[in-house]
Structure 1
Amino acid sequence: MRPRSDSQYAGGPVNWRIITSLIPYLSEFRGRVALAMAFLLVAKLAGVAIPWALKLIVEHFERAGDALAVVPVVLLAGYGLLRFSSVFFSELRDAVFARVAERAMRRISLRVFEHLHRLDLGFHLARRTGGLARDIERGTSGISFLMRFMVFNILPTLVEIGLIAAILLINFSPLYALTVLGAVILYGAFSIWCTEWRNRFVRESNQMDNRSNTRAVDSLLNYETVKYFGNERFEADQYDRNLAGWEAARMKNRLSLAALNSGQALIIAGSVTLMMFMAAGQVSAGEMTLGELVMINAYMIQLFVPLNFLGFIYREIREALTNIERLFGLLGEPQKVADAPDAEPLRLTGGSVSFSQVRHAYHSERTILHDVSFDIPAGQTLAVVGPSGAGKSTLARLLFRFYDVDGGSIRIDGQDLRAVTQDSLRRAIGVVPQDTVLFNDTIGYNIAYGSPGASQDDIWRVLRLAQLEDFVRRLPEGLETQVGERGLKLSGGEKQRIAIARVLLKDPPILILDEATSSLDSHAERLILDALNVVARKRTTLAIAHRLSTIVHAERILVLDQGRVVEQGSHAELLAAGGAYSRLWADQQRDDTHAQ
């Protein structure tokens, strides 16, 4: 398993290639993108024409005394139409492009979701669910932001600045155009430098947010444990300590943002003031009309808005990229258990299972299985017993291919598991785990999960086999009864029987029972064992057991100790041998006698 820290995916410079990786998502809707760009062009041209129309209106009233003349009416109407067009076509642009951005979010969210399900069990055992959920949420939001603003704000703003500079250069002194370009360059340089400086505070804030959210989710998921030990105050203090770190990080973020905004405002105010001084001097000298002064002022105000917005967009893009790099970091997680390029579907001819010299270690310094070999003939049951930590559950995980073996091989009907597709392998195997976790949905949904789309008759059939029918029929809502988060509204035995019913509905040829009756009382255990024995007669079964009384009818029993096979044989043969199994049996019989 891979340990993780909150800072994973957060370090290092932002990878700007993330932006180019979003381009393919634009190609899915080429027509929409082209139409949106056309609306964008119309909106920008209308926006740039507004100050020119204002100049014409002022000059007309400066020269003519008849306010009711037809010309100013047309100019005023045109001025209003330009203002409306600037906003209207911008809204049309956003409406047309919305599908593109939302579809990109959908595609990438699905891609991350599918990739997370492809990652090995070690990743999911080590993950922090709360922080992971926040990374996905912020990353997908950042993608939507980039899709909209990179296409429709950064480039158009630069185009608008260029148009304004060209108008000033053509109609007035080059000093005006140079002042505009100088202000833009100074503004951009300051924004980039300051944003890079404060980006560390954004990362720190995100890390603190992940920690506090992870703590809250872990605490709520372990609600009962918190109550058992009366640690509500301890949990609140831990959560508040994480929130305090988040608060401090957010304060640094906000103070640095205030510094950035103040610097940008100073540059804008200085450039506007300089332009107005220059224009006022020319008006006084008779070299410029009052209308041209108004036009320059309007252009500078119009320039101020996109410039200020450009600074905001750059800040948001940097923050979005910081969030997206964490999301892409998840996509970059290597898939340790992957199908071979030439993998083929599993071809079942009976379902025999063979372990040959299997070695495995979760960590290099501790080997769990040492050259384990055994065979399970098709349709027979092999039980595995042994003390805790002997490696029993590891056998089940390797057979289901949650992990690949470090040495040796596992075969089904002669086919190495690494040579077949994982999908076909897992369709052929049913698992009843020791710790059953249910979806926060209904009993019917959780049972039907074994075969989505199963009929009600099939569901009730497996309920009868799992000795659960009477219990469900007594419930007021029957199959529609909600089980709660992780099935907490049900008892351990009820959850276990739902897990058994779910596997029976799947109807796999190979069965793994990982202490499948561990949560049942003696009466329920006998009923379930009868059902499982009936089902197992037609299936190749690997039964991992702690209570030896549950596997006495297995054709073969394998005794595992410290990752090595120390004995194997039938129940009678192992008792007669007087070895490790015989001692385990005697110990459990003595414990059962004392318990009575």
Structure 2
Amino acid sequence: MSEERSDRRSYRQVLPTLRRLLRLLIPYRSRMLLSLFLTGIAAVVPLATPRLIGIAVDQWNNGKFPESLLFPAIGILVVEVVSLILRHFKEYHSQTLVERMVFDLRCMLFARVDRLPASFYEKSPTGKLATRILDESRSVELHFLGVLSALVVAPVSLLGIVIVLSIIDWQLVLWAMLPVPLLYLLIALSARSIRRVGRLVRDRSESLSSTLHEQVGGIRTIQLLGGEEAEEHRFAGRAADYRSARREMANVTSWYYPALGLFMGMGTVIVLLYAVWSGSGREMTGGDIVSFIVYLGYLYGPLVSLSGANHALQEMALSAERIFEILDEQLPSEGSADVATDKTPEIECRGVSFAYHSGRDILKNISLTVRPGERIGIAGPTGAGKTTLARLLVRLYDPSEGRALLDGKELREYRLASLRKAVTLVDQEGFLFGLSIRENIRFGDPRAGEEDIRRIMALVRLEEVVRRHPAGMDAEIGERGVRLSAGERQRLSLARALLRDPRILVLDEATSALDIGLEREILSGIMAEKPERTTIVISHRPSALELCAKVYRLQDGGLAPD
């Protein structure tokens, strides 16, 4: 599909996108109707002002001064006060309504992101996701009110103004509307450019955000390897790309809005020339002429507002579409079965193969049975697929071929929450949150009591870490556990997993940062604490594998006893 056809298709999707956003307001429809009502009334009330000005001018011209000006003056004051009150309530209700919608949108978006499969994150940088959750939803919030207001206020105002102007002189109204086709031709021609450049701006913004997120996360590596200058150049390149896109958007809009003003001025000139040429101005009072000219400015205001809403609508639709792209991502399928909690299940792989990319199998026809309570080890060279196999057991991935079973049922027949409660994976780089030690451990089971937490801490030898901190269990560990050593982070990850009391524990290089003596001590304690628990140890270290009754070697995609 060519870019032109793609833009046309996208432009036709603007209204469906808007309708989809509006569906988020259904739970708040009573407040939305009130907001629309206030918006409509707030648009109509100010239309009385030009007529009151015209009355004042006629009174002045007729020599009825100053007492005759009192009524128009009081009328204008009342109109302005009422308009102020209406605008206040309209803005308050509209703003709270949109904030509620955006709050729901952000929560829906994060809830979706929170449940998407691992394959999604392989193609979606975290900086890009953060931009969509925060910035794109903010863009919807900023533009939605303007679009909604324009689509309600402008038609109501326009209808009211046309009626009033027609009462004064309907022929002048027809002449005043001559520039309108040119106005909307400009909107139609500019919409495609605004949309194309708007998408470019967002792509460059996401790229810049992803680069920044990556660089800040890897700042210590950058410093240790002397890569500051290279990374500064890389960031500057991304920033320059974004600046270039913003400049292109400025180029498009810098012609757009002045052109709107030109067409509005053309309408006023046409009306004045026609009035002079036809002599219709002689039939109007001075107040009528003043009212007509003021109303004429009001007439083009809604038209410009509608045309400005075009830009806002394109911006909002682009943001909403990027949000809906994530909301429309397919969640991993899951069954309705629960893993039995009164016994340790048997886990089995039957002819399992897996490929990240078509035609390049990482695992080839793997068959393995692990009986309840067994301790097995899996060894193999780097890149052999050990981590992939571990992730298949907790359904971060599904086999390309073959079946992964738990107690004779395929893993996909179980609810994911139940499966991952029964089978818990601890990997080499267990992610830690920038919270306290207690909060990170309790993440494994928020309902766990203090006694259980202390027991698990003793099992993984975390007490000494806690004792070193004045705040004890409440010590903050920093983002990703940056205030802890690599070994301390691994022990904290182990504690979190053990608090879940899994039936099957999969350790993927989970103790690689510990010294051999401490590793052996902790692994022996874990296995002795729950003899009925199945433990699968994936490691390069013979010292860790020696604790296992069976050891398998994974190499060239195949699995065989070592």
Bin the TM-score by the shorter chain: over 0.9
Counterpart mapping for 1:472-551 below 5 A: 472-551=466-545
> Are 1:149 and 2:143 an aligned pair?
no
Distance, in Å, in 2 between the alignment partners of 1:486 and 1:430 is 20
Change beyond 3 A, Cα 1:153–1:88: farther
**1:247 aligned partner:** 243
From 325, 329, 334, the equivalent of 2:330 is 334
* SS state at 2:163 partner: helix
* SS state at 1:519 partner: coil
From 347, 362, 365, the equivalent of 2:340 is 347
Give the superposition deviation at 1:62.
2.1
Is contact 2:506-2:537 (8 Å) kept? yes
Name the Cα RMSD after superposition.
Answer: 2.2
> Are 1:456 and 2:450 an aligned pair?
yes
Counterpart mapping for 1:582-593 below 5 A: none
**2:80 aligned partner:** 83
**1:93 aligned partner:** 90
**2:260 aligned partner:** 264
Change beyond 3 A, Cα 1:11–1:63: closer
Is contact 1:446-1:502 (8 Å) kept? yes
**1:306 aligned partner:** 302
Change beyond 3 A, Cα 1:531–1:11: farther
From 193, 197, 213, the equivalent of 1:197 is 193
* SS state at 1:28 partner: helix
1:142-182 CA distance string (max 9 Å, x none): 332454233322232022112212222232142x2213333
Change beyond 3 A, Cα 1:229–1:561: same
Q: Which amino acid aligns with 1:405?
A: P
* SS state at 1:361 partner: strand
Is contact 1:279-1:293 (8 Å) kept? no
Is contact 1:515-1:545 (8 Å) kept? yes
1:202-224 CA distance string (max 9 Å, x none): 22222222222211111111111
From 114, 119, 128, the equivalent of 2:116 is 119
Counterpart mapping for 1:165-314 below 5 A: 165-174=162-171, 176-279=172-275, 286-314=282-310
Q: Which amino acid aligns with 2:334?
A: D
**2:133 aligned partner:** 136
From 558, 564, 576, the equivalent of 2:558 is 564
Give the superposition deviation at 1:499.
0.6
> Are 1:402 and 2:391 an aligned pair?
no
Change beyond 3 A, Cα 1:313–1:284: closer
Give the superposition deviation at 1:454.
2.9
Distance, in Å, in 2 between the alignment partners of 1:525 and 1:53 is 88
Give the superposition deviation at 1:283.
8.0
Q: TM-score, normalised by structure 1?
A: 0.88
The answer for unaligned runs of 5 or more in structure 1 is 1-8, 568-580, 582-596
Distance, in Å, in 1 between the alignment partners of 2:83 and 2:47 is 9
**1:20 aligned partner:** 19
Distance, in Å, in 2 between the alignment partners of 1:347 and 1:217 is 42
Counterpart mapping for 1:320-469 below 5 A: 320-335=316-331, 337-340=332-335, 343-348=336-341, 349-469=343-463
Distance, in Å, in 2 between the alignment partners of 1:317 and 1:556 is 63
Distance, in Å, in 1 between the alignment partners of 2:518 and 2:287 is 93
Change beyond 3 A, Cα 1:12–1:484: farther
Give the superposition deviation at 1:279.
4.5
Q: TM-score, normalised by structure 2?
A: 0.93
Change beyond 3 A, Cα 1:328–1:244: same
Is contact 2:208-2:239 (8 Å) kept? yes
1:325-347 CA distance string (max 9 Å, x none): 11112223333x3124xx32233
Shifted more, 293-302 versus 54-63: the winner is 54-63
1:548-568 CA distance string (max 9 Å, x none): 22122323222222221222x
Q: Which amino acid aligns with 1:149?
A: G
Give the superposition deviation at 1:312.
2.3
Give the superposition deviation at 1:442.
1.8
1:249-269 CA distance string (max 9 Å, x none): 211211221111121111011
The answer for unaligned runs of 5 or more in structure 2 is 1-5
Distance, in Å, in 1 between the alignment partners of 2:230 and 2:383 is 32
> Are 1:104 and 2:105 an aligned pair?
no
Give the superposition deviation at 1:433.
0.9
Is contact 2:377-2:545 (8 Å) kept? yes
Shifted more, 453-462 versus 288-297: the winner is 453-462
Distance, in Å, in 2 between the alignment partners of 1:121 and 1:36 is 42
Give the superposition deviation at 1:440.
1.8
**1:318 aligned partner:** 314
Is contact 2:344-2:504 (8 Å) kept? no
Counterpart mapping for 1:26-105 below 5 A: 26-69=25-68, 72-105=69-102
Aligned length: 554
**1:593 aligned partner:** none
Distance, in Å, in 2 between the alignment partners of 1:490 and 1:12 is 52
Change beyond 3 A, Cα 1:462–1:138: same
